[in-house]
Amino acid sequence: MPVAGLGFRQAAPAASLHALVAEAGPLSALATLAAKAPALQPLADRMGLPLIALSPDDVAGIATPTQSPRMIARFGTGSLAEALALAAAGPGARLIGPRRVSRDGTATIALAQRLSQ
């Protein structure tokens, strides 16, 4: 099962995060930045998923299909959600489809899976 990387604004409503995760289908884990993990932990607990907290250093330099100048300047990667998913899925991971943005534009999700799975 894939890992979901979640990037979100501080003001992202819990309902927006829940909708993205629920629409993603079966998952093995959620991943986000360690600084944002406390905001995502209740959703992970409710869905029975482990939460992987990563540092900005963990995602810096990860190549992603999406290229946001703002994310490149801030985190050293083109898409935070895509980089989080790839880093959490581990070596040899690939993205599964394009990243998705919540209806209100406050959160983004990307799914990644190891090729050997």
Q: Which domain holds residue 55?
A: 3-114
What is the CA 97 to chain-centroid distance, rounded? 13
| 85 neighbors 78 (Cβ within 8 angstroms) | no
pLDDT computed for residue 12 by the predictor: 94
Q: Kindly report, residue by residue over 94-113, the tens digit of the pLDDT.
A: 999 899 999 999 999 999 99
The predicted model gives 75-91 an average pLDDT of: 96
**Looking at the predicted structure, is the pLDDT value of residue 18 above 80?**
yes
> Can you tell me the distance from the alpha carbon of 88 to that of 4, in angstroms, rounded to the nearest whole number?
8
Q: Alpha-carbon Rg of the chain, whole angstroms?
A: 13
Size of the chain, expressed as the number of residues it contains: 117
Q: How many CA atoms lie within 13 A of 51 on its CB side?
A: 19
Confidence of residue 116 (pLDDT cuts 50, 70, 90): low
Q: Quick check: 83 and 63 in contact, CB under 8 A? A: no
Mean pLDDT of the 80-84 span: 97
Output the domain CATH number for residue 79. 3.30.420.180
Total count of domains within the chain: 1
